[in-house]
Structure 1
């Protein structure tokens, strides 16, 4: 049975789409979360609503829950939706932690069957990167920024003056004889029992390779391990400024809402 975490007041009237408000939905392997966002400050308007991702997370099953969240939150304006997938020309090209039947799906055709309002669909790391650049550490506000989310793998977003270059997938870049995410993700640290000092050396190598290719103005590091920044952040030796993510689990929803407001369709 699908679980629901509802934290909002149960108003029966529809919420009007305000000029500086938007709505984001973040689809993950365990939960689908949505909230109205005040784009003036990147904060939720009220609480988010979370519904468990169906065990069989097919496009139709997930889209049904997306529509349920929009309906339960009484939202009438544009909606941004993130997927743990490469999304190119609104077509889903990969599927991480969701059913493989997503691959090849036209996201616009799919969600148009379930939503009455305009919507956009984008990669979850891209959405988080948008949010962090807009509302996170000031070091990332201008210039080129690489946002990395360290978890099971390494997700990435590349932004220039706040504008997104989508679907970079830098975690799959070869660093030496292995992909970056096979060397420096937080899952690798746990799996191999690495101490922070050992793991940071690997992360440094990955960041140095990104530096050589892109020369970014800053790196922003997200994912659960960024919450323990004080244990390892000062061990990094890369010459490019590195800052921890600030929005944490809000980033995907906030970035999705930003994409909806901008009409961004990678």
Structure 2
């Protein structure tokens, strides 16, 4: 069975067929830019472009991540970094129709990344409380207790300095404000300290594209009691986790 994973982000939509035995991409991923405004129809077209790129590997099932709360594997409840017209949309029905009736599974993007990291990556075999945080256009979160996901935590929207934390400490915030690695690490440190106070994790896994550059900022973060490690699947974790969700549906 050919399972695809597609990861919808605030800046890009990327996907590939996934080898679920290895927990890795079966082919090099394809990426298109997220349309602006990122309306349901526009984003669905982007997802179709990604799938159609792999003309030699027609999927049997597709797992798709969404940057917001998704309930019941279908209904979008929040849309911080895409168009607000997504709210209350049945994303599963919309995307399945766009893909010609293919079976589709939809879940929160950070939750998908977390599931992949807990099974194949930095969280493999870890018990207790583990928190994966994805830093990108926003900050996504996936919370695990004894290996079990607590879905849709959305801890990037905690208040920090009077604003959503992701407005202060996301990768986009670093780029928008032209912050040095030291300056950005200080913001991330404040955010991690706040989350640690609330959740007391034994392990933080830092994901998203920025995980490829973990050596530039993780050593600068001080005073956090929990272990902090970069995601092993890096920015492919969401794709792999989406495919895992589709295979289990």
With normalisation by structure 2, the TM-score equals 0.84
State the distance in 2 between where 1:262 and 1:92 align: 20
CA contact (8 A) 2:9 2:137 kept: no
1:159 aligns with 2:129: no
For the structure 1 residues 73 and 48, does the alpha-carbon distance in structure 2 shift closer, same or farther, using more than 3 Å as the test? farther
1:222 aligns with 2:203: no
More deviation, 200-209/131-140: 131-140
1:124 aligns with 2:109: yes
CA contact (8 A) 1:140 1:220 kept: no
What is the root-mean-square deviation of aligned Cα atoms in Å?
Answer: 2.6
Residue segments in structure 1 that go unaligned for 5+ positions in a row: 1-16
CA contact (8 A) 1:140 1:218 kept: no
Aligned pair partner of 1:247 in 217, 233, 237: 233
More deviation, 83-92/108-117: 108-117
- Report how far residue 211 of structure 1 moved: 1.7
1:170 aligns with 2:155: yes
For the structure 1 residues 129 and 204, does the alpha-carbon distance in structure 2 shift closer, same or farther, using more than 3 Å as the test? same
State the distance in 2 between where 1:187 and 1:52 align: 16
With normalisation by structure 1, the TM-score equals 0.79
1:91 maps to 75
CA contact (8 A) 1:130 1:162 kept: no
State the distance in 2 between where 1:184 and 1:85 align: 18
More deviation, 65-74/248-257: 65-74
- Report how far residue 138 of structure 1 moved: 4.8
Aligned to 1:117, what secondary structure does the other structure show? Answer: coil
The structure that has the greater radius of gyration is 1
Aligned to 2:244, what secondary structure does the other structure show? Answer: helix
State the distance in 2 between where 1:171 and 1:51 align: 25
Residue segments in structure 2 that go unaligned for 5+ positions in a row: none
1:258 aligns with 2:244: yes
